[in-house]
Amino acid sequence: MSKSHHDRTHHVKKATGKGDPQCFKGEAGPPKFKVGDHVRIKDLPDLFYTRCQVYTRGAPCTVAALVYESPAAEDEAWDNTDKPEWFYSLIFRQKDLWPDYPEAYANDTVETELSERWLEKA
Amino acid sequence: MSSRNKLMKHFQLVGQLQPALHAPQHAPYPDTIDHAHYRAYLRSSHDVGGEPDVPITWEEKEEEQWEHNTFVTCECLAWRGVWNAEERRRRQNVDLGQTIYLGLPYYGRWLLTAARILVDKQYITLTELNNKIDEVRKRYE
């Protein structure tokens, strides 16, 4: 039996010879933030799927790099790929994430990537 | 389930598998669930960062043959356009639910998810899949 109505070819056509996320380059529009900006992670609804770690919500961080353009995880997880966003590499101070983080390691950081929808100016 | 005896043991084991809250909380009435519990239940099960847990023993271990086969199968499903990597992750890390996420081996979740998407997207029927499992299982009886 095979009666699938799902479109199996659109991503292959788009990504062949370019790769993913390179195939979305130029589709996200101008980025809202730049390297060095101080931003904060929004506490958006996260029903059914996200890759925005709960431990980052509300925490301040610094933009380390604009890494690529891609559909956000929340869209791509259902194969909705027509609205790519900028992805940012973000640096958090561990002390800003964990209240009991030891003072002796005050300079420790953690870096992770999130899409633009999760960021607001700090 | 090959016997009624095994079936009864199955019920007992399932009864012991609790959600991560480690509290009896079965099918509550609407006025006994607050927002904190709603959010805890609905959070993506792969997002474990910050949650208290016990240490896990690290073992240096090669992948087994079935694990390699599973990985290649899932990559072929992507190559043929059945899913993309994010849909695969959504299904194997979140859609399976908390109990299976924590309870099965990593590639066990990949394998279940590969079967699930073929049924969900109607490449095969669940009846066909179950008949095949039954046929294969009989080879080992």
- The answer to whether the CB atoms of A79 and B42 lie below 8 A apart is no
Cβ pair B81:A11 closer than 8 A: yes
Query: For B85-139, how does the pLDDT look when each residue is reduced to its tens digit (9 = 90+)?
Result: 999 999 999 999 988 998 899 999 999 999 999 999 999 999 999 999 999 999 9
In this complex, the residue of B82, B94, B123 whose CB is nearest that of residue A49 is B94
Residue of B20, B5, B15 whose CA lies nearest to B99: B20
CATH of B84-141, one of 3.30.1330.20, 3.40.1190.10, 3.40.50.10470, 1.10.472.20: 1.10.472.20
How do the domains of chain B map onto residue ranges? 84-141
CA distance to partner chain B, nearest, from residue A114 (Å): 14
Global pTM reads 0.86
Q: Locate tokens 């239940």: which residue?
A: B41
Is A7 close to B42, i.e. CB distance below 8 A?
Answer: no
pLDDT band at B35 (very low <50, low <70, confident <90, very high): confident
Residue pLDDT, tens place only, B10-34: 777 776 665 555 566 677 888 888 8
ipTM: 0.89
Please check whether residue A1 touches B, CB under 8 A.
yes
Distance CA B106, CA B129 (A): 22
A1 to B42: CB separation less than 8 angstroms, yes or no: no
| Termini Cα distance of chain A | 54
The reply to whether A54 touches chain B by the CB within 8 Å rule is yes
Domains of chain A are: 18-121 (2.30.30.50)
The DSSP secondary-structure symbol of B64 reads: P
Task: Give yes or no: B123 in active site.
Answer: no
Residue numbers of A between 85 and 104 with CB closer than 8 Å to B: 97-98
User: Nearest residue of A to residue B129 by CA position?
Assistant: A1
* Contact state of B47 with A53 under an 8 Å Cβ cutoff: yes
Residue A5: predicted pLDDT? 65
Residue-wise over A57-80: b if at least 16 C-beta within 10 A, else e?
eebebbbbebebbbbbbbbbbebe
